Chain A
Amino acid sequence: MAFDKQVHYELAANSVIDGNQERAVELTQEALDNGITAKEFLDNGLISGMDVVGARFRDGDMFLPEVLLAARAMKAGMELLKPELSKTNAKSAGKVVIGTVNGDLHDVGKNIVIYMLEGAGFTVIDLGVNVAMETFISEVKQHKPDILGLSAFLTTTMPAMEKVIESLQENQLRKQVKIIVGGAPVTECFANEIGADAFAEDAGTAVIVCKKMTKNG
């Protein structure tokens, strides 16, 4: 039987959803061997699987353990695609600097967003957790990203997001970067209140929003 692309994409998506790292790697290699481009396989296979994971996580049909395994499977597949992606994807979808704000040490959600953004072709600079306001400012100055992503898991650290935005303004950097905020306690209303450009309630939405922002920006 001839190699069926659609079936292969579906198998790959399922390997991510199942968190089956070995299978994801195997299917990625098979895809490359059969002449599917890295970009095409990534979008239709691995990422479409991660989209399902994101939606299920949001709806409570999947939980943290499964999400972590899925992200690991997707990452393992992506490693194989990287050489070709960097060759063909000379133009990145955009540059994102991202970090969890000062006082907050949570990185699970942020890391899922990073996997998804990288999968979608963005260049991501991860500043890690508990990132000082000054660090956000200096990194924005240095990397000149299209988008700055701010993450908070604690309600008590949400105000730090506003401080970063204020500081960008004071440093005349606010206009050169779009800001997206997210994390468990963060709402659209809060995002508007503190003057962010966008809010995403899950990793899948974050990618869509970032794509939109870089196109219009």
Chain B
Amino acid sequence: MNDIDYLVDLQVNVISKGDDTVKAKTLLEVAQERTVLFDGGMGTMLFEKGLKQGDTPELWNLNYPEIVGDVHREYIKAGAEAILTNTFGGTSIKLTDSGLHDRAAEINLTGARIARSACSDENYVIGDIGPIGKILEPYGDLKEADLVASLKEQIKSLLEGGVDALIFETQIDLREAAIGVQVARNITSLPIIVSFTFNKFKRGFFTLMGNSVQDAIQGAENAGADIVGTNCGLDSHVMKDLVKEINAVASLPIYAKANAGSPELVDGNVRYAQSADEYIKDMPEYLNSGVRLIGGCCGTNPAFVMALNQLLSKRN
């Protein structure tokens, strides 16, 4: 990094983090040195706390900020060092589905502030950006300019709320992810994570849009991501093999969050098949395969993070 880059970096950090001080080390710098423990599922926890199917989880940032903050605090208490804001579906385009598109800025800003105030300055707050929910032209009817505008609004609000990094997660389209990274990079020099969701086929792992592991990971790296990886879609056991494949093609620190098994319906409620113990059994192999940022996705809760914390302490 040359001096000018450094100054820009510093400036953006100061602007974007408002009253907070600049961290001694960015998430990327820490991940280059050691493993960083992330949180578990947000939706899973909100459902437990009364979110109903069909509700918009992100609206809880405005209606029930205390409950969203509680989820963050439970994860921090379990040992998470980094937490994702409750803004997965927070683009204006995605929020159109629930008629909340004109509240996108407010939802993201508040989501970032809730997370920021739920933890200490030592913790990393990651601004969460999920897939836009529409397919880019020519396959779908989403215009690139609309995607860019919607992402820009979300990213600016998250930065204003004081996040330390951004994550594009559960991505199924390399093109959408790459556009996201470019939009983010034009606004901030904070670390950017890109995390894809893959399905397993006979021929190997592919995203829904057909990106192979190599294409997705290297494409994200070329677009300017700082950290690459995978989340959702697979249980910890199947994702173990995927992580190895990512490790073979990635040159950046790897991020991984698996689901707690497959969902089952018990008494009308969705339950995930894997216990924290089963999940943890697979984790040493993740750590041996270059994973430096680790946590849990759907179905995981603070018990999983606590078990991960114990595992990491043992290894250090």
Contacts and interface: CB of A to CB of B under 8 A. Distances in A.
Interface string A45-89: 000000000000001111111101100000000000000000000
Interface residues of A, number: 26
A68 B139 CA distance: 6
A105 B263 CA distance: 19
B270 interface: yes
A148 interface: no
Chain B contact residues: over half helix, strand or loop, or mixed?
loop
Interface residues of B, number: 27
B53 A63 contact: no
B50 interface: no
B270 A158 contact: yes
B284 interface: no
A80 to B, nearest CB: 22
Contact of B202 (A59, A69, A193): A59
B210 A59 contact: no
Contacts of B97: 105, 130
Contacts of B208: 63-64
B133 interface: yes
Nearest to A157: B53
B189 interface: no
A37 interface: no
Given A60-B206, A65-B210, A155 B298 contact: yes
Contact of A64 (B43, B54, B139): B139
A66 B210 contact: yes
Max count, chain A CB within 10 A of own CB: residue among B206, B210, B269, B298:
B210
Interface string A186-211: 00001001100000000000000000
B210 A159 contact: no
B268 A159 contact: yes
Contacts of B207: 63
A130 B209 CA distance: 23
Interface string B234-273: 0000000000000000000000000000010100111000
A15 interface: no
A162 interface: yes
B139 A159 contact: no
B265 A158 contact: yes
Interface string B50-64: 000111000000000
Contacts of B135: 64-65, 68, 108
Contacts of B123: none
Contacts of A64: 135, 139, 172, 208-210
A103 B140 CA distance: 22
B205 to A, nearest CB: 9
A65 B139 contact: yes
Contacts of A103: 53-55
Given A64-B135, A64-B210, A190-B265, A159 B201 contact: no
A178 B281 CA distance: 44
Contacts of B289: none
B6 interface: no
A66 B209 CA distance: 9
A108 B140 CA distance: 10
Contact of A159 (B55, B270, B298): B270
B53 A105 contact: no
B209 A65 contact: yes
Given A59-B201, A63-B208, A64-B139, A193 B265 contact: yes
B203 interface: yes
Contacts of A159: 53, 265, 268-270
B199 interface: yes
Contacts of B204: 60
A61 B208 CA distance: 11
A200 to B, nearest CB: 18
Contacts of A63: 206-210
Closest 8 CB pairs of A and B: A60-B201, A63-B210, A103-B54, A155-B263, A103-B53, A65-B139, A68-B139, A105-B97
26 contacts: A59-B201, A59-B202, A60-B199, A60-B206, A61-B203, A62-B210, A63-B208, A63-B210, A64-B135, A64-B139, A64-B209, A68-B135, A68-B139, A68-B140, A102-B54, A103-B53, A130-B54, A156-B53, A156-B270, A157-B53, A157-B54, A159-B268, A159-B270, A160-B54, A185-B263, A194-B265
